[in-house]
Amino acid sequence: MAMMTIQIYNTATRQKEIFEPINPPVILMYNCGPTVYDYFHIGNARNFVVADTVRRYLEFVGYRVRFVQNFTDIDEKIIRRAHETGEPWDKLAERFIEEYFRAADALGIQRATVHPRATEHIPQMITLVERLIARGLAYVVQGNVYFRVRHFPAYGELSGKNIDELEEGARVEVEEHKEDPLDFALWKAAKPGEPSWPSPWGPGRPGWHIECSAMALTHLGETIDIHSGGCDLIFPHHENERAQSMGASGKPFVRYWLHNGFLTIDKEKMSKSLGNFFTINEVLAKYPPSVVRFYLLSAHYRHPLDYSDAALEESRSAVGRIREAVISAEKLFELMDPAIAPPSEAEPSTEVARFETAFCDAMSDDFNTPRAIAAIFEAVADLNAWRLKLVQDPRNPALAADVAGLINLIHRLLAVLGLDDLIFGDSKQEHVEERQLAHELIDILIRTRQKARELKQFTLADFIREELSKLNIRLQDLPTGTIWIKD
């Protein structure tokens, strides 16, 4: 299969590389999903929307993406929140998994191929930890298991950190029984009042990093094509995940590490711990999902994106311009004689195809969504111009085919960005509602005419018939009542 060349910026090599999947057309992709102790915020949403858009584009060019996004459904934050609210920790996690799906569905984020939950992979995590112990890469202290960082020579390669500098910077943590402050927990001995699972080292729970290693291994295998997440995860989460996975398998773990930049507020990272965040529900209460998703894609995924009402309002007006252009053109076809209006599958001319080329060039260049959106806007500008020409020259079939081709293309490209359904979904609904309303209004006119005839007001009755016939609506009086036919 001839695939388009795609370049991806790989965090591990700090450069754009040509994307060469291990086993095309299948692509194995893992995205670090939410820790489910609360509603996610608009910064987290950026990560989910970026990963979903990457996946959609890869599928658009012909790949089949096996996409895994986990739920971290056990960790300190969940335990702490459960203590605060008095809700059982597992019920709390379950509730926020449902909330995740609700908001993600609203934002047009497609369901992953698999959504594994950490708590459903405890045996796989234990096996992985055992393997690391057997290889001398992990050790047990009082029911805890730690990863022996100094024994994994490739440690620090992903984040570009020097192990000795890390050592100097490392706080001597409370866990003083570690061999080295750099070592991190794979398994944590149970504490009173906290959830725990049995293990060969006594009851306990997994560390955060081992969860992702185990879930990626279970659902994708030892070596995967793309691993994504926010750039706050590069160190330590992904560095540790990599050390564990490679340490256990002896094989490469990830071919392309893809990290999105922060969503910021007043130039500061939006985060729960800083308290400077807006939950997705708060944002969706103010702006429709199409506007929120458009805004999240309006910057390149690696750049920071600042949150402000002004930025969201700008996105609102941009989405409005696309919507208006497409709906106006579609309405024009509805009004046109069907003999002239081309079928919606009209082949686009080369004129139209150039917008698709510009869009794909942008997306293939490390998923440059702002440039891809600019290509859509060029198509929108042409659509407006060509629509006006078509109004003047409605019997020009080549022009009509181009306008129809452009409408189709804009829908298709918006769909790659996950925006088409969000922008036009309600307009399809509106369309159905408008049609229903039209039918009801015609029925009212027919009954009014009936009333007029009963009252012997024949001039009014004829007036109604004639006015309707101007709209090509013909009335037929049958013994059972009056029906109408649209010519």
* Residue 118 touching ligand AMP (CB under 6 A): no
Taken in order 402, 407, 410, 415, is the CA torsion positive or negative?
Answer: negative
Report what 212 binds from Zn ion, ligand AMP, none; CB cut-off 5-8 Å by kind: Zn ion
| Residue of minimal Cβ distance to ligand AMP | 230
At residue 37, the 3 state secondary structure works out as: coil
* Residue 232 touching ligand AMP (CB under 6 A): yes
Q: How far is the CB of 248 from Zn ion (least distance, A)?
A: 16
- Closer residue to ligand AMP, CB minimum distance, 108 or 229: 229
Taking CB under 6 A as the binding criterion, the range among 32-40, 132-140, 164-172, 380-388 that sits at the site for ligand AMP is 32-40
- Closer residue to ligand AMP, CB minimum distance, 259 or 387: 259
Helix H or strand E segment including 353: helix 350-364
Query: b vs e for 84-102, b when ≥16 Cβ sit within 10 Å of the residue's Cβ?
Result: eeeeebeebbbebbebbee
- Closer residue to ligand AMP, CB minimum distance, 230 or 418: 230
Alpha-carbon gap, residue 228 to 243, rounded angstroms: 16
Q: Measure CA of the first residue to CA of the last residue in the chain; give whole Å.
A: 49
Q: How far is the CB of 207 from ligand AMP (least distance, A)?
A: 14
Of 21, 30, 43, 103, which lies in the binding site for ligand AMP, with binding defined by CB under 6 A?
43
Alpha-carbon gap, residue 344 to 406, rounded angstroms: 10
Burial class (CB in 10 A: 0-12, 13-18, 19+), 46: buried
* Residue 216 touching ligand AMP (CB under 6 A): no
Alpha-carbon gap, residue 10 to 70, rounded angstroms: 22
Q: Which residues, 6+ apart, have CB-to-CB distance to 375 below 8 Å? A: 355, 358, 359, 362, 413
Helix locations, 185-303, DSSP H: 208-220, 239-249, 280-286, 289-297
* Residue 54 touching ligand AMP (CB under 6 A): no
Alpha-carbon gap, residue 277 to 38, rounded angstroms: 12
* Residue 206 touching ligand AMP (CB under 6 A): no
Q: How far is the CB of 232 from ligand AMP (least distance, A)?
A: 5
Report what 218 binds from ligand AMP, Zn ion, none; CB cut-off 5-8 Å by kind: none
Contacts with Zn ion by CB under 5 A lie at 32, 212
CA angle 145–147–149, rounded 5-degree value = 155
Helix locations, 138-201, DSSP H: 163-169
Report what 263 binds from ligand AMP, Zn ion, none; CB cut-off 5-8 Å by kind: ligand AMP
Q: How far is the CB of 66 from Zn ion (least distance, A)?
A: 17
Report what 10 binds from Zn ion, ligand AMP, none; CB cut-off 5-8 Å by kind: none
- Closer residue to ligand AMP, CB minimum distance, 44 or 199: 44
Residue at 210: amino acid letter: I
Helix H or strand E segment including 7: strand 7-10
Q: How far is the CB of 350 from ligand AMP (least distance, A)?
A: 39
Peptide bond before residue 252 is cis, with ω within 30 degrees of 0 = no
Q: How far is the CB of 229 from Zn ion (least distance, A)?
A: 6
Q: How far is the CB of 262 from ligand AMP (least distance, A)?
A: 4
Report what 262 binds from ligand AMP, Zn ion, none; CB cut-off 5-8 Å by kind: ligand AMP
Of 30, 46, 362, 416, which lies in the binding site for ligand AMP, with binding defined by CB under 6 A?
46
What is the C-alpha radius of gyration for the chain, rounded to an integer number of angstroms?
29
Report what 230 binds from Zn ion, ligand AMP, none; CB cut-off 5-8 Å by kind: ligand AMP
Across the chain, how many H-helices and E-strands are there? 15, 15
- Closer residue to Zn ion, CB minimum distance, 253 or 287: 253
| Interface positions, 241-300, toward ligand AMP (CB under 6 A) | 260, 262-263, 269-271
Task: Give the residues lining the site for ligand AMP (CB under 6 A).
Answer: 32, 34-35, 43-44, 46-47, 229-230, 232-233, 260, 262-263, 269-271
